[in-house]
Amino acid sequence: MERVKKAIVIQHVPHEGLGIIGEVLTSFGISAEFVRVYRGERVPQELDRGTLLIVLGGPMGVYELERYPFLKDELNLLERAFKKDSPVLGICLGAQLMAKAAGARVYKGDKREIGWYDVTLTGDGARDGLFLSFPEKFRVFQWHGDTFDVPQGTSLLASSVDFPNQLIRIGKRAYGIQFHLEVTSLMVYEWLKENSEELASLKGAVDVEEIKKETPSEIMTLNNYGRTVFTRFLRA
């Protein structure tokens, strides 16, 4: 497959950045070109050859197209990327946009999944090249309330107890990851601070102090998983 030369990164809010993905891109000598839609920057209509598309997370819902019109442009770009079998990484909102662009439904879940949770690889996930030798069940960082159905003809690679659709592969080179393999400890603490009003509105449903307590013991393993997955993705 053609080597990735650069990455287009669609960023929805300032505090949800590349994290570990940026470190891996740098190790491959791949430059990242950010499209900061929160500043009004325009989503490109097409991807050049050898370009990786990364769509990051954000607080908006895929179903809020009228409120956030740039999401329509992202969906159009994703549809074109799938047709070309371009490499794509979608994180959280990015994964939901991928599911929508592939024809599936995106909707609010029954609860919010915020903090450290286990995900379990499916049979397809255990056989996928990005997750070979991974434990069947491993702990990841989550921050979402929306979820999606699995698009027809795509592979479900991982599930959690409350949200069965956590990781999908579309074609050979497009992965939608509902959870956050990219976060660093600094990002976790920043998100807790930036989203303090949201957390307060949940009236104790999310234990912020428990998240802070768990993060130091979980983050190193998560970062190792992230480096492995994103490195394998770029080598594929």
Enumerate the active-site residues. Answer: 92, 180, 182
Residue 40's Cβ-count burial label (10 Å; 0-12, 13-18, 19+) is exposed
CB 104 within 8 A of CB 110: no
* 26/116 Cα distance (integer angstroms): 27
* Cβ neighbours of residue 29 closer than 8 Å, sequence gap 6 or more: none
Report which of 11, 23, 159 is spatially closest to residue 94, judged by C-alpha positions. Answer: 11
Q: Which two tokens stand for residue 188?
A: 């976790």
Q: Which residue's structure tokens are 């056989």?
A: 127
User: If you search the block for the tokens 């303090």, which residue do you land on?
Assistant: 196
Dist CA 13 CA 206 (whole Å)? 22
